[in-house]
Amino acid sequence: MAQRQPVSEPGAIDAAARILGAGGLVAFPTETVYGLGADATNAAAVAKLYAAKGRPAFNPLIAHVGDSAAAHALARFDADAETLAAAFWPGPLTLVLPKRAGCAVADLATAGLDTVAVRVPAHPIAQALLARLGRPVAAPSANRSGHVSPTTAAHVLADLADRIDLVLDGGPTSVGLESTILAAAGDGVVLLRPGGVPRAAIERVLGRGVSAPREPPGEAPRAPGMLASHYAPRAALRLDAAAVQPGEALLAFGPVLPAGAERAATTLNLSSRGDIVEAAANLFSHLRALDRAGVAAIAVMPIPHAGLGEAINDRLARAAAPRR
Ligand code: TXA
Ligand code: MG
């Protein structure tokens, strides 16, 4: 059974680094969502991580490192990658880059690809842990495969308590959505997953447009994480709902509720003041709360697409996709 360790306790980071160094599994907060960490250089630890997640072993993992220098030891950066790293690290951006010869990340963690996904998280607990361990940490979101990503330590334990060694409790995460994933691996910059860094911010830094994810939900994935039904609550979602149907719960956005809102079984508002950043931070915990309330169907109000709205709409489209 996993221990839940408030990071305020002295020695918490040391203990977590010791467990990772010995091949164990530690969940920890990043500014996006909680990650389930394993020593990325230890194939046995990475195998344990896949087993804990119930994740298909072909799905590659993000290698988390403490700074840009550590990322350069793993991967080759072209000019665009350098620009992006300088602008957004530490932060909610993942770069998929060509693996450098002698890259310390275990082949199992990259699913045998010749690219590696790297990220420098900004969260102080993640930073402290990476500094203490001094090795890259492979970390998918700390949920069972197919569930929504955890934004609190309680979410992590609900999914994984009996499968991991420790969760560092750093309170709710601030961004609430996973990192934006960009590939810069020889054919320009491609947006693989919208996330915590809005596309407009990326385009401003690059001085040009970036192509959207190539496969819309429902098509065969190139990156396995693009599976349409990856982010799945139990309840059925109806998107862009202009009215609430009998029996539905309501996932609202903004101060003005749709017709029939008064008959909603339960209502949770992503941001009653219509703030897209607040909505992102609340998305996964509200989906989990509606699942816990046992609702069968959720009407979701239209969410604007600007800024973090692109990533929110992407996750909602996946959550609404038919299950496989
Ligand atoms: O915010 C985040 O990114 C969180 C925190 C913990 O850092 N992590 C996260 O990891 O969301 P995960 O494993 O749930 O999603 C990572 C995605 C997967 O869809 C995976 O397929 C993709 O990154 N990925 C990893 N390596 C890749 C590669 N070499 N090429 C293409 N896609 C890759
Ligand atoms: Mg995930």
pLDDT digits (tens, 9 = 90+) for 42-56: 988 998 998 899 866
The rounded Å distance from CA 274 to ligand 1 centre is 29
The H or E element that residue 87 is part of is helix 79-88
Please list the residues that pair with 3 across neighbouring strands: 166
Q: Which fold has domain 236-320?
A: Rossmann fold (3.40.50)
The rounded Å distance from CA 243 to ligand 1 centre is 35
The rounded Å distance from CA 150 to ligand 2 centre is 9
Kindly report the average pLDDT of the chain as a whole number: 91
| Average pLDDT over every residue of 80-96 | 98
Please list the residues that pair with 184 across neighbouring strands: 189
Q: Which atom of ligand 1 is nearest to the CA of 117?
A: 26
Q: What pLDDT is recorded for position 174?
A: 97
Q: Are both 3-206 and 236-320 of the same fold?
A: no
Q: Which ligand is nearest to the CA of 40?
A: 1
The rounded Å distance from CA 178 to ligand 2 centre is 8
Residues in contact with ligand 1 (CB, 6 Å cut-off): 30, 32-33, 35, 59-62, 94, 96, 110, 113, 115-117, 119, 139-141, 178-179, 181, 192, 223-225
Q: What pLDDT is recorded for position 54?
A: 85
Give the percent of the chain with pLDDT over 90. Answer: 77
The structural domains of the chain, with segments of one domain joined by +, span 3-206, 236-320
Q: What pLDDT is recorded for position 219?
A: 43
Q: What pLDDT is recorded for position 146?
A: 83
Q: What pLDDT is recorded for position 224?
A: 43
Which residue has the CA at smallest separation from atom 10 of ligand 1? 140
Nearest to 284 by CA among 114, 124, 102, 158: 158
Compute how many other C-beta atoms are within 10 angstroms of the C-beta atom of residue 178. Answer: 26
The answer to whether 37 touches 129, Cβ cutoff 8 Å, is: yes
Residue reference for tokens 């693989």: 192
Q: Which fold has domain 3-206?
A: DHBP synthase (3.90.870)
| Tokens representing residue 225 in the block | 């994480």
Residue 13 in this model has a pLDDT that exceeds 80: yes
Q: Which ligand is nearest to the CA of 177?
A: 1
100 or 213: which carries more pLDDT confidence?
100
pLDDT tens for 146-184 read: 889 999 999 999 999 999 999 999 999 999 999 999 999
Give the percent of the chain with pLDDT over 70. Answer: 92
Q: What are the angstrom distances between the C-alpha of 60 and each of 77, 130, 226, 242, 267?
A: 19, 20, 12, 38, 36
DSSP string, 160-203: HGGG-SEEEE--S-SS-SPPEEEEESSS-EEEEE--SS-HHHHH
The rounded Å distance from CA 258 to ligand 2 centre is 31
Q: What are the angstrom distances between the C-alpha of 49 and each of 64, 139, 165, 167, 175?
A: 15, 8, 11, 14, 24
Q: What pLDDT is recorded for position 318?
A: 86
Q: Which ligand is nearest to the CA of 230?
A: 2
The rounded Å distance from CA 63 to ligand 1 centre is 9
pLDDT tens for 206-241 read: 999 998 755 544 444 444 445 455 567 889 999 999
Eight-state DSSP code of residue 220? P
For ligand 2, an ion, list residues with CB under 5 A. 141
pLDDT tens for 246-257 read: 999 999 999 999
Residue 4 in this model has a pLDDT that exceeds 80: no
| Average pLDDT over every residue of 98-118 | 93
| Average pLDDT over every residue of 100-104 | 95
Top mutation candidate among 53, 94, 99 for ligand 1, by most atoms within 8 Å of CB? 94
| Tokens representing residue 37 in the block | 């960490």
Q: What pLDDT is recorded for position 323?
A: 67
The model's pTM: 0.89
Provide the CB-side half-sphere exposure for 36 (13 A, CA). Answer: 33
The values of phi and psi at residue 286, to 5°, are -70, -40
Q: What pLDDT is recorded for position 27?
A: 98
Q: Which atom of ligand 1 is nearest to the CA of 225?
A: 19
Q: Which ligand is nearest to the CA of 227?
A: 1
Q: What pLDDT is recorded for position 218?
A: 44
pLDDT tens for 20-71 read: 999 999 999 999 999 999 999 998 899 899 889 986 666 899 999 999 999 9
The rounded Å distance from CA 61 to ligand 1 centre is 5
